[in-house]
Amino acid sequence: MIEVKHLTKRYGDHLALDDISFTVEDGEIVGFLGPNGAGKSTTMNIITGYLSSTEGEVKVGGVDVLENPIEAKKKIGYLPEVPPLYVDMTVQEYLDFACDLKGVPAANKPDTIEQVCKLTKISDVRKRLIRNLSKGYRQRVGLAQALVGNPEVLILDEPTVGLDPKQIIEVRDLIKNLSKKHTILLSSHILQEVQAVCDKLVIINHGRIVAIDTPEALSRNILQINKLELRIKGPKNAILQGIQDIDGVVNAEIVRIREEGTVDIRVETDDETDVRGEIFQFCARENYPIYMMRTDEINLEDIFLQVTGEREARRR
């Protein structure tokens, strides 16, 4: 649905994008990640036709954005990081204006506006001036305009900025539901948000793609470790030393003490070793009851730091 091929963007001597290529398939939710200044917004602006590239091409639904921008833009709904709102309009007036811009027939406007307001939960503020809305409501109004015209592709740049925790969950659920009818490219600094909704990740750093894959595959192939979380009853130093001595354990550390007489330990092993049996045997031999043993969830933060080089920089 979205094809980015050998995309390069220069600003004078500064190379903002350096020959990047990736695809977003029909119905996918793809997370687009990178540090500040990595090139995320530049890429999104080129995909949506707001900027031209120096080299390369972008196609949306098979339509070249540079050669046929009007047709390409008809397929795209875009929510920039700062929503393009006219604050002297009411929400109703603004969405009516968005319908005109996107060529929605006059007869279809009422139903279109009703539908996007219901989806984004802004029906109760339709008659209010946008300038009087909270930041969270403004963000939802921006998302509503992106949905006007029922575009095939949604480009969402930080869609939950300014929302409270309940609203963030609602927007996550909305994005998941939208993927049934839309292809979504989502940029966010909130890694948990990306992990919760995205099928695939594209990570960019210094204008270059450094990783493309599912979160699970990136965890296996990049981090090359498995993680366990343990809660064991007994003397903490003896337990820690005993686990560190098990073959295949790369690192073990005490993370907290939540229950009296127990210790919580995080264990990292190499990719090919399962040490759960050895840990059980050690604890049984020493009469240390195991209260909890579970594999740790995929840590998207670790993946991000590893592929962008920040992990090694922090160690130094």
Give me the CATH number covering residue 85.
3.40.50.300
Dist CA 314 CA 316 (whole Å) = 5
Q: Is residue 313 situated within a structural domain? A: no
Q: Is residue 69 situated within a structural domain? A: yes
Q: Is the dihedral of CA 61, 86, 115, 30 positive or negative?
A: positive
**pLDDT number for residue 118:** 93
Dist CA 268 CA 253 (whole Å) = 9
Stated pTM of the model: 0.75
**pLDDT number for residue 54:** 95
**pLDDT number for residue 220:** 66
Same domain membership, residue 187 and residue 202: yes
The residue among 165, 196, 219 that closes a domain is: 219
Q: Is residue 316 situated within a structural domain? A: no
Q: Is residue 7 situated within a structural domain? A: yes
DSSP class of residue 128 equals S
The residue among 219, 242, 271 that closes a domain is: 219
CB 198, CB 29: distance < 8 Å: yes
Q: Is the dihedral of CA 86, 87, 93, 95 positive or negative?
A: positive
Query: Would you write out the chain's pLDDT as a tens digit for each of its 316 residues?
Result: 899 999 999 999 999 999 999 999 998 999 998 888 889 989 999 999 989 999 999 999 999 999 999 999 999 999 988 888 999 999 999 999 999 999 999 999 999 999 999 988 899 999 999 999 988 899 899 999 999 999 999 999 988 877 788 888 888 888 888 888 899 999 987 777 787 889 899 999 999 999 898 877 776 666 556 788 999 999 999 999 999 999 999 999 999 888 889 999 999 887 677 899 999 999 999 999 999 998 765 566 777 777 777 554 444 4
Same domain membership, residue 141 and residue 28: yes
Nearest alpha-carbon partner for 170 in 136, 221, 220:
136
- Domain with 234, as residue range(s), is 224-304
**pLDDT number for residue 135:** 85
Dist CA 234 CA 208 (whole Å) = 49
**pLDDT number for residue 224:** 59
